[in-house]
Structure 1
Amino acid sequence: MKSSYRKCRTFYHKLKFYWSVNWTKTLYFNFKKFPFATAKKLPVFFYKRVKFTSISGEIQINGNIKRGMIGFGQPYELNTVHRGIAEINIQGKLIFKGKFQFGKDYFLFVGENAVCELGNMSSMASNAKLICLEKVVLGNYVRLGAESQIMDTNFHDIIDTNTGEKQEKTGPIFIGNYNFSGSRISIMKNTKTPDFCTIATNSFCNKDYTSWGNNILIGGIPVKLIKTNISRDWEGEKQQLDDFLTI
């Protein structure tokens, strides 16, 4: 009886999961952007509603291609409701270094001539925003909380009112391996973090923090060094993350 119940429960969860996939957008995207040998494996899944404003850019997947390894709107968080405002606009180059997940109601923009690299087993949770006009690189196992935003641009020209000199409008962003954040963080142009960096909720990052070393906790507006010799238990969670996020 217990064995039959487990099988029925497993079947129900699988059915519920596949029901959440937007198969029209999933099939269209994969066969539009990848060679047939790659597309037939369906490496990219879209969940619920999403608007393709543009997918004219280049999309590259490195490593072993597996079904559903990249999830846009993937239901991996506690919240279960989509508001249905997800949007992607890819005009430049988007590179996946392995598995990656966007949570619900995300916005992804990669501008023309821009390069965005997303590391293996990295993610941005619900209501995340990633805007890349020059270069954004996320290392492996970068796990960013809900309502986080990454923007490598000011959008508008900023000038020195004494000299009239213009600041650079864009600046590259490099997030190290095994970075973890709370919710509502802002990562702006010229940000660079070390490996094994934890970023507190409601933080604002806009500088190079690699000189502070690895295994650090940073936070604040703007970010300050809060604690050293601290890290998420990545080794203890690796298998759990892989099992939970693999389709």
Structure 2
Amino acid sequence: MIKIVQHNYRKARAIYQKLQFYYSVNWTKTLYFNFKKFPFGVAKQLPVFFYGNVKFTAITGKIQIIGPITKGMIGFGQPYEMNTLHKGIAEINILGAIVFRGNVQIGKDYFMYIGIDGYCEFGHMSSLASNAKLICIERVVLGNYARFGSESQIIDTNFHHMVNTQTGKKCKMTAPISIGNYNYASSRVTVLKGTKTPDFCTIASNSLCNSDYISFGYNILIGGIPAKFIKDSISRDWEGEKAALDDYLII
């Protein structure tokens, strides 16, 4: 009798959790985006889910998924973090090109702007946590498992031209950003134009990255304002976490 009750309880709980999950999806924006941006054969599989409120300022750019298509593989506003509430301030403005190379998670209340000449690429299982900001005017590439904490921002432009007051020469306003595979950036990390990180790089909380860190090699910790090399032979335990991470985050 007890086993029957336990079985029924687990079954009811699983149904409740599934209903709760599907209730959190913004089906109006999800359906509109998928059938607006993808061929029918792809759109009907609903590869992109939107959760909570989001403003589509523009979605006229090119959106491409490279790899096997599965339902909900890309989640905007995906509720995978400890905080459970949306503020309802999420906004996307995609004028250029954005490419997804697998499953991708974007947390709550994000802002994403891809300029008309911009190219943005997300590797498999890359992510931006809640209140993240991504502005791509030229080129931003996140490698596989490049995961950023809450309130992080990735910006490849100065927004305004800077001038050498002695020579009158204008400085370049934009520069590509390249984040390596298996990068872990803690909360409130700012990545500015020209930043390049190697594979297996950890970025400390509240850091500002604005340089090429490739020469320091793999398995490094960087941090500070501006970020500098701190330590080598250190990495997030990807081998120990990867299976659990995939199981928890992939819809």
Query: TM-score by structure 1 length?
Result: 0.99
Runs of 4+ off more than 2 Å: none
Equivalent position to 1:105, from 105, 109, 114: 109
Question: Mean alpha-carbon deviation: is it higher for 30-39 or for 159-168?
Answer: 159-168
| CA distance in 2: counterparts of 1:2 and 1:181, whole angstroms | 41
Q: Find out whether 1:147 has 2:155 as its counterpart.
A: no
> C-alpha displacement at 1:113, in angstroms?
1.5
Matched, 1:21 2:25: yes
Compute the displacement of 1:196 (Å).
0.1
Matches within 5 A, 1:39-58: 39-58=43-62
2:247 aligned with 1:243 = yes
Work out the CA distance in 1 between the residues paired with 2:159 and 2:31.
34
* Structural mapping, 1:31-180, within 5 Å: 31-180=35-184
Counterpart code for 1:42:
L
Q: Percent identity?
A: 67
Match of 1:232, SS state, is coil
CA–CA distance in 2 between the matches of 1:28 and 1:224? 44
Where in structure 2 are the equivalents of 1:179-194 lying within 5 Å?
179-194=183-198
Aligned-pair CA distance for 1:181: 1.1
* Residues 224-246 of structure 1 deviation map (CA, whole Å, 9 limit, x = unaligned): 11111000011111111111111
- Structure 2 SS opposite 1:24: helix
SS at match of 1:169: coil
Amino acid at match of 2:183: N
Cα deviations by residue, 1:109-133 (Å, 9 ceiling, x for unpaired) = 0000111010000100000000000
Cα deviation, 1:24-73, whole Å, max 9, x if unaligned, reads 00000000000000000000000010000000000000000000000000
Deviations 1:187-208 (A, max 9, x none): 0000000000000000000110
Shift of 1:157: 0.8
The equivalent residue for 2:204 is 200
Where structure 2 has 5 or more consecutive residues not aligned to the other structure, the ranges are: none
Q: TM-score, normalised by structure 2?
A: 0.98
Q: Which amino acid aligns with 1:3?
A: H
> Distance in 2 between the 1:55 and 1:73 partners?
16
Question: Distance between the aligned counterparts of 1:216 and 1:195, measured in 2?
Answer: 9
Q: C-alpha separation between the residues in 2 aligned to 1:224 and 1:214?
A: 14
Distance 2:119 2:75 in 1: 20
Kindly indicate whether residue 238 of structure 2 is the aligned counterpart of residue 234 of structure 1.
Answer: yes
User: Per-residue displacement from partner, 1:122-162 (whole Å, max 9, x unpaired)?
Assistant: 10000000000000000000110000000000000111111
Aligned length: 247
